[in-house]
Structure 1
Amino acid sequence: MPTPPFDLGERVALVTGGGRGIGAAIVTRLAEAGAHVVIANRSRDVADALVADLSQRGLATGTAQFDRLDRTGLRDLVDGVAHQHKRLDIVVHNAGGCPWATLDELDEDKLEAALSINLSAAIWLAQAAVPHMQARHFGRILVTSSISSRLAMGGGAHYSAAKAGVNAFIRGAAFELARDGITANTVEPGFIAKPGRGSLSTAENLSRIARHIPMGRIGSADDVAYAMLYLASEQASYVTGQSIVVDGGTTLPETGFAVERQWG
């Protein structure tokens, strides 16, 4: 798939959860467009392996320690990257996850875990990045959300709430920062293939899920990464407070049965 003609030369980007899957694709596309991309990943060895691979291609990437989700830890992360590179132009909060639990199984730890990495971390990361972006009157704040923010999920009501909160936060942040040359947007992936990861990655389950997607296929990490690349670019300078849904049409029909009626 060819790289779109977006030029991020001299931009410095920070991507949390950038070691594999969607995060690795985002890192790769930003780096291919010329940005120096710093990967903040809890599994440092995974991030180091990606950096080694991209470095062989002549792409500028590096890693930063990412093991604290609180306000202080994320401020230290952002300030460290900005100090090392003398600037910070793009932050992508891609780190996420959720301990699945039905409503009756949900406890304080599971709720806090979902809110902490998906919502709170996005807020603290953005807050820490804003002063560095204001100094140059340019910035891109991007968060990987999910179509779960608008769809019901059995065992994932707390995850849906966190992602809906992300979208609401981004709209408010975009409004506050509009006069500073800083945009804030999210991308909402639908079903994205994660080869070799979890029961949903089996060929049988992927085929079953694909039947309920209007486009008839599972999405790829690059489908999300190219949306992020656009939002990070100069070409998206007039786009803020928005969410790009990348789901192959999953959220279009009223139910999965509508897809079956249309395509069988």
Structure 2
Amino acid sequence: MASPFDLTERVALVTGGGRGIGAAIVTRLAEAGAHVVIANRSRNVAESLAADLGGRHLAASVAGFDKLDRGGLHELVSDVAGRFGRLDILVHNAGGCPWAGIEELDEDKLDQAMSINLTAAIWLIQAAVPFMRMQQYGRMLVTSSISARLAMGGGAHYSAAKAAINAFIRGTAFELARDGITANAVEPGFIAKPGRGTFSTPENLSRVARHIPMGRIGTADDVAYAMLYLASEQARYVTGQTIVVDGGATLPETGFAAERQWG
């Protein structure tokens, strides 16, 4: 079935696009007609996904994502824009951090949290601006987290990075609004990631789901479809927003604070 969101001839770059939410975003954009460049720290994983999509006659290719400094990320964006002659959609989905209580937090853990969740997004967006301004069109998107508004033990540094990227997106949207460029974030709530950590055990998933108004843990596609909308022409008047995709988990009426856990 054809996607109602037509991205034919659009070029998208998705970081952290190899697995989970990232792979779902890549797949939905490709199904809508975009050529999606997958930038993932594990190149083999990205190449496998690109091959799977190619087998379905969808357009996807791979770019390296092993340099998180300003120069390396500018080079990534320039390479993609140079290869295709344009860059329409940028999705910074790569993220994560080592969990640590405030007394155990050290410089390395803090740097890791900030570099992948905040500064990498800033440098990627900065690099994409000239190309999108030249086109007078663009979609800047980042994957944030409900951790930006819901405190969890062992993740204060992660929460800080995600809250900061939400603020950066608002400022970016303001600066670029007259250039035909939108900037938005999506905040996933509790999303099932099979086989990853104690949170993914059936017992924990069931316990957490009881406190979500919709009664279930989210899926990667729940996030990907929000991204697809924001990447589309239908979202042309939406900018500077953070869309929460959490089944209502952060509504104040849920009393979810009792279920805050370490990551």
Give the shorter-chain TM-score range. Answer: over 0.9
The 3-state SS of whatever aligns with 1:135 is helix
Per the alignment, residue 155 of structure 1 pairs with 154
Residues 189 and 137 from structure 1, CA distance in 2 versus in 1: closer, same or farther, beyond 3 angstroms? same
Deviation at 1:214, TM superposition (A): 1.0
Q: CA RMSD in A?
A: 1.5
CA distance in 1, matches of 2:129, 2:10: 15
Residues 3, 31 of structure 2: 8 Å contact kept: no
1:171, 1:241 within 8 Å by CA — same for their partners in 2?
yes
CA distance in 2, matches of 1:78, 1:84: 10
- 1:134 paired residue number: 133
- 8 Å CA contact retained: 2:213, 2:254: no
Q: In the TM superposition, what are the counterparts of 1:34-49 in structure 2 within 5 Å?
A: 34-49=33-48
Output aligned runs, 1:3-82, within 5 Å: 4-82=3-81
The more displaced of 157-166 and 194-203 is 194-203
Does structure 1 conserve the Cα–Cα contact (< 8 Å) formed by 2:173 and 2:181? yes
Distance in 2 (CA, whole Å) between partners of 1:44 and 1:256 is 41
Question: In the alignment, is residue 168 of structure 1 matched against residue 167 of structure 2?
Answer: yes
Within 2, Cα distance between the matches of 1:180 and 1:254?
40
Q: Number of residues paired by the alignment?
A: 259
Offset at residue 256 of structure 1 (A)? 2.9
* Equivalence map 1:100-249=2 (5 Å): 100-249=99-248
- For residue 94 of structure 1, what is the aligned residue in structure 2? 93
- Take 2:134 and 2:27, find their aligned partners in 1: how far apart are those partners? 27
TM-aligned CA distance change 1:25 to 1:3, over 3 Å: farther
1:257–1:133: structure 2 CA closer, same or farther, 3 Å change rule? closer
AA aligned opposite 2:165: V
Moved over 3 A (4+): 257-260
Is residue 68–residue 120 contact of structure 2 (8 Å, CA) maintained in 1?
yes
Distance apart, 1:253 and its partner CA: 2.7
Identity of aligned residues (%): 79
CA contact (8 A) 2:250 2:256 kept: no
Q: 1:6 touches 1:230 (CA, 8 Å); kept in 2?
A: yes
Contact 1:114 1:159 in 2 (8 A): yes
Which is worse superposed, 245-254 or 182-191? Answer: 245-254
Distance 1:138 1:206, change over 3 A: same
Question: What is the TM-score with the length of structure 1 in the denominator?
Answer: 0.95
Change beyond 3 A, Cα 1:257–1:166: closer
Unaligned regions of 5+ residues in structure 1, if any? none
Q: For residues 259 and 217 of structure 1, do their structure 2 counterparts lie closer, same or farther at Cα, with a shift above 3 Å needed?
A: farther
Equivalent residue letter for 2:135: R
Q: Aligned equivalents of 2:48 and 2:70: distance in 1?
A: 28
Matches of 1:93 and 1:258, distance apart in 2: 28
1:212, 1:259 within 8 Å by CA — same for their partners in 2? no
Instruction: Give the whole-Å Cα distance in 1 for the aligned partners of 2:125 and 2:100.
Output: 28
Deviations 1:57-109 (A, max 9, x none): 00000000000111000000000000011110000000000110000000111
